[in-house]
Amino acid sequence: MSFWNEIPRPIVGLSPMDGVTDASFRYITATVGRPDVILTEFVSVDTAAFAPESLLRDFTYSEVERPIAAQIYGHTPETFYKVAHIVCELGFDGLDINMGCPAKKVAAKGSGAGLIQTPALAREIIRAARQGIRDWAAGQTLAAIGIDGEFVARIRNANRMRCGAEAPAERREIPVSVKTRIGYEAVVVEDWIKNLLEERPAVISIHGRTLMQQYSGSADWSAIARAVEAARGSATLILGNGDLRSLADVYRRVTETGVDGVLLGRAAQGNPWIFRGKLELKDSVKSVCADSVPLPPNVAIEERFSVLLDHCRHFAAWREPHVFVAMRKQLASYIRAVPRAADMRYRMVHVNVLEDVERCLEDYTAALASESFPIRASWNSPPAAALRCG
């Protein structure tokens, strides 16, 4: 039994989003919304095996995010075998394999959604990852698979910083899951899912689009329903994914398709509150009562700003000053629903440091109280380039 089976259904988890669901985003989402499960952004197995610096940055997490699965991608089984050891050593609760990324630089090399075209290799990769986990659980050291002492020391240090202990208290076998799409060019969901089921992953999460669709059109939930049928009788859980905007959407799709749960992606951007009604949602699904599905939470502006600031503070404490500009896109999504959003957005897309955000919120709050918009005029932050040189 893995942690996945212990979560009351329907499972409502946070979908991985490269460049979005970093350690700060996940920390805030876990603290405010408490999704049932969290997946990291995807990390290339080649980066993971050979570039400790960026691996440890991308795999930074905090205890509040548990259960958390590390998502990896690639196309060489041997590297998956190796990286599975690292994922275990870093104390993750699960290992998720990305077989859904449509980006050219990923899929054209045969990784991500490219694996839909090489089903035998996809299965080999699942087996290699699982074998890596088994061997680690049986006591195999990182040194034994050629990971150098400095890398091991950094992993230990990351563990110590996160939870006070250098290594996981026990060597247990963590579950392997797969996140994928319904096809490459055409929809081939039944054959593809049956192929994956041969390896009995704990979970298959399915985004209801093909690679060719990228993010266009709508997610095909009837294809996801066919995947549920294909998996009937197996121990693998099926999670549906794509275009879910609210818990009402989740209720509808879960009851229509019979999925064991869902992953929410874009709807959680600037909206960690979306997970808040998940317990009531589970009750509604159990009692088949759509009337008791929780409404989207009405978040007061003060709370919205306070969470936004916590998000920025976490990021500022974690990352180097010159990359604070990466917060701009996150900020824009927090303020979508506030009055005079366009005015505020203008300021938010120019912030360079935490103090800019604080000033912007102060100015906005004062302007709201005195009805003295616009607030653009008071803008005088230094450009990001100046910070980088300093």
Residues that bind ligand FMN (CB under 6 A): 15-20, 41-42, 71, 98, 100-101, 179, 207, 241-244, 264-267
Whether the CB-CB separation of 33 and 64 falls below 8 Å is answered with: no
Min dist. Cβ of residue 18 to ligand FMN (A): 4
CA atoms within 13 A on the CB side of 186: 3
* Exposure string over 284-323, b if 16+ CB within 10 A, otherwise e: bbeeeeeeebbebeebeeeebbebbeebbebbbeebeebe
* Residue number with CB closer to ligand FMN (265 or 272): 265
Instruction: Tell me the helix, strand and coil percentages in the chain, rounded to 5.
Output: 55, 15, 35
Residue number with the smallest Cβ distance to ligand FMN? 265
Min dist. Cβ of residue 99 to ligand FMN (A): 9
Min dist. Cβ of residue 243 to ligand FMN (A): 5
One-letter amino acid for residue 202 of the chain: A
Q: Please state, in angstroms and as integers, the Cα–Cα distance from residue 48 to each residue in 19, 97, 130, 141, following that order.
A: 17, 13, 17, 16
* Residue number with CB closer to ligand FMN (19 or 382): 19
* Residue number with CB closer to ligand FMN (20 or 281): 20
Which residues share a beta bridge with 42? Answer: 71
* Residue number with CB closer to ligand FMN (145 or 178): 178
* Residue number with CB closer to ligand FMN (243 or 343): 243
Query: What residue spans of 35-148 are helical by DSSP H?
Result: 45-50, 52-58, 77-89, 104-107, 119-137
* Residue number with CB closer to ligand FMN (33 or 265): 265
Min dist. Cβ of residue 287 to ligand FMN (A): 25
Min dist. Cβ of residue 212 to ligand FMN (A): 15
What the block records as the tokens of 363 is 């100015």
What the block records as the tokens of 303 is 């709370």
Min dist. Cβ of residue 381 to ligand FMN (A): 26
